Amino acid sequence: MFMSGKDRIRNESEGRGGLRVEDKDGAAESTGPVPYDTVGQNFTVVFPENIASYYPSPPTNMVIITALKNGTTVRVQEYDKSEQRDLDAGDVWNFTVNAKLELGKQNISNKTLTIDSNKDITVQAISRKEDSLQTAVVIPTDKLGTTYLIPPIPTIPGTNNYQDLVVQTVTERGPFRIIIVNGVQQQNNVNVGGLKTQEVSLQSGQVAQIWLNESAGFKNVTAEKPVAVLFGHPCAVQRYCSCGLLYAILPPAPGRTLKYLVPPFLAQDAAGETMVLLAQNDSTSVTPYASSSPTYDVAGTAILYRPGLLLPLIPTANFACCFVVTALSTISKNYAVIVVSSNVTDGVRVGNNHISSADWTKLEGTNYSSIQVPLSLGETVIWHTSSKMAVYFSGNNGSTLFGNQAPVVSSSPDFRGCAVTPEVLDLEEQPSDWRESFKTCADRKLELLCLSSADLQKQIYGKLYQNRSLTNNTVQEVWIGMRRSSLNGEWFWVNGDSVNSTTWGDGEPGGVEEGQCTIMSLGNGTGFEWSDDDCCMDAHYICYKEPELFPI
C-alpha cells in the first residue's frame, strides 16, 4: 500500500568563506541511506491486494498529504487522470484512490499512484477494506535504496504453519510475498537472492510481486537502481477464521549496526504472540518480545509483529524532533506512541501541551522512556524543544490493530517549534570591524547574531560548542549584534529585540567611555562571555538566520 521521502555541519565557500553550522532536513540534504527519511517531493505509492474475509467488497484506499511550507503545489497522478491542489504549511490533503489501483495476483503490474510537488511534503498511505486496515508512511523516491533485507516470516496459525496447505492459487493459504516497486523512470534490473535466485526486469512505473516460498529461502533484494520493497500477506488469519491485510514497507539496508527499542505500548499482547523479526546480512531470527529486554542491536532491520500488525522499528540513529500525525476520523481509537531519553521527557510537546512526567513508562535496562497519547481528530504536531525522539502512529479499528512511524517534519531541535528550514549560523573567518560585519551579514539577507533570550543563548552556545573542532580553535572572539546607543548609552540589539538576558563576563560591560560594540568569547567553547570593545577593531563575526517553523 505504500512506497516510495540531518543534522550535519559543512565547510563551504560562501561570500568571504567560513564555517556554516546548519541543521539539514529534506531530500536534497541526505548524506546516505537513512531509513524512514520521509520528507520529499516525489513519491510512488502502491496498494497491495487486500483479500480479507469479506472479499469481494471494494477497498477504500487513500493517501494523506501534508505540506510543510507555504506555496506548495501538489499533483497526484493515477492512470491517465491527474488532480492538482495548492497547499500552505500545515495543510492536509486526503486523497481517495481509485479502487482499481489495488494490486491483484499479477507478477508484474503498472498499478501505481504518483505524487509530486514543488516543495517538501510527507505522505501517509491508508489501505482499508471493512475492518481490515493497514497504514504506512511513504518513503520519497529519492530516499529509496538499492539493497534490502527480507525479514524472517512469522508463523501464523491458519495462514502459513506446517499444517496448512500452502499454494499460490488459494490466497489466504498462500505464502508471504514481497512487492518491488521501480523507483526510477527507466529500466531497472532487480535480483532476489537466497537459497535460490530470482531476477526481474522492471520498466518505468512497474511493480513486481515475488512469493516467498520456503524452498527459495529468499534473504535480500538488490537492484541496479533505487526501488521500494514491501513485505507481508494479503490475508493473514487473525481470529475466528477471519483474515486481513498484513503489510509493511521495508527500510533500505542500513549497512551498520543500529539500536532498536520496542515501546511496551506497541508490544502489549495478551496472547503472548508479539515477536521481533530481525534481518541481517548473514542471518535472520524471530525473537519473542520480552519487556525485560526491549533493546536490539542489529546490523540490519528490526520489525515488530503482532497479529494484524507489521511495524518497522525506528533505530535511535534516526530519531527526529518533530512529527505530524493525523487521526483517522472513521477509527474509534487513534494514538501516538513516543520514545525519548528519560532525562528529557519534559521537552516533549503535543501541540503546545506538556506531558506529565508521571505518565511515562521506563524501558527496562535502558535510559529511555515511552508513553501512549490519545489523539483528537485532525492533525497533531508532536515535537521536542531540544532533543530527538521516536514517534509512532497507531490505533485500533474494532479488533484490528494498525500502526506506522509518524511522518517526520524536522530533525533539527529548536526550542521555538518545528524547524522545517533550520536556523543558520555563519561563522566568518575573515575579520572585519563591527560596522562592516553588520553590513556583510545584511547583504546576504542574514543578520549579525542577536542573542536576546536565555533559550536562544543556550541553543546557539550548544551548537557552537559541539562544532568548535571544525574551526581548529583559531577563532577566539566574534562580533555579535549588540551595541551601545550613542544617544543614551544603553545597550540594544540591532534586530530590535529587547535586552532581557545577557552573559557579560566579570567586570563587563565597562563605562560609556569604553567600548561601544559587543564581542563574544569562544574561548575553549564553554564560556561564551561577552565584553565591550572598540567597534573599529577587526574581529571574526557570526551571521544568523532564524528558522522557518511549521505551524503548531
Q: pLDDT tens digits, residue range 381-422?
A: 999 999 999 999 998 877 678 899 999 999 999 999 999 999
Q: What is the pLDDT of residue 125?
A: 96
Domain boundaries, the chain: 20-410, 423-550
Least confident stretch, 64-78, 189-203, 354-368: 354-368
Q: 8-14 long-range CB contacts below 8 Å, 24 or more apart?
A: 9/467, 9/470, 11/470, 14/426
- Give the containing element (helix H, strand E) for 17: none
Least confident stretch, 130-144, 230-244, 283-297, 389-403: 230-244
For residue 502, give the amino acid letter. Answer: T
The pLDDT tens digits of the residues spanning 9-34 come to 323 333 334 566 655 443 333 333 33
Q: Please tell me the distance from the alpha carbon of residue 140 to that of residue 3, in angstroms, as a whole number.
A: 8
Per-residue pLDDT for 203 more than 60?
A: yes
Nearest to 425, CA basis, from 474, 460, 451, 458? 460
Q: What is the pLDDT of residue 307?
A: 85
Rounded to whole angstroms, what are the CA distances from 412 to 10, 115, 135, 344, 417?
15, 26, 26, 16, 10
Report the residue count for the chain. Answer: 552
Q: What is the mean pLDDT of residues 125-148?
A: 92
C-beta of residue 41 within 8 angstroms of C-beta of residue 66: no
Q: Are strands 477-484 and 539-545 parallel, antiparallel or unpaired?
A: parallel
Give 470's pLDDT tier (boundaries 50, 70, 90): low
Rounded to whole angstroms, what are the CA distances from 417 to 217, 406, 546?
47, 17, 12
Nearest to 310, CA basis, from 408, 239, 238, 232? 232
C-beta of residue 229 within 8 angstroms of C-beta of residue 249: yes
Q: Please tell me the distance from the alpha carbon of residue 461 to that of residue 363, in angstroms, as a whole number.
A: 31
Q: What is the pLDDT of residue 213?
A: 84
- Residues forming beta bridges with residue 148, ordered by sequence position: 221
C-beta of residue 183 within 8 angstroms of C-beta of residue 141: yes
Cis bond upstream, residue 252 (ω within 30) = no
- Phi, psi for residue 300 in degrees, rounded to 5: 175, -135
Give 164's pLDDT tier (boundaries 50, 70, 90): low
Q: Please tell me the distance from the alpha carbon of residue 112 to that of residue 373, in angstroms, as a whole number.
A: 34
Query: Using the 8-state DSSP alphabet, how is residue 461 labeled?
Result: H
Q: What is the pLDDT of residue 11?
A: 30
Least confident stretch, 71-85, 156-170, 532-546: 156-170
Please provide the average confidence, as pLDDT, over all residues in the chain: 86
The pLDDT tens digits of the residues spanning 503-520 come to 999 999 988 888 999 999
DSSP per-residue letters across 244-308 = EEEEEEPPPP-SS-EEEE--HHHH--TTS--EEEEEESS-EEEEE--TT--EEEESEEEEEEETT
Rounded to whole angstroms, what are the CA distances from 13 to 25, 430, 508, 522?
21, 12, 35, 22
Q: What is the pLDDT of residue 32?
A: 35
The CATH class of the 423-550 domain is alpha beta
- The grid coordinates listed for 342 are 528519560
- Note the helical H segments in 406-504: 434-443, 454-466
Residue 546 burial (10 A CB sphere; 0-12, 13-18, 19+): middle
- Residues forming beta bridges with residue 545, ordered by sequence position: 424
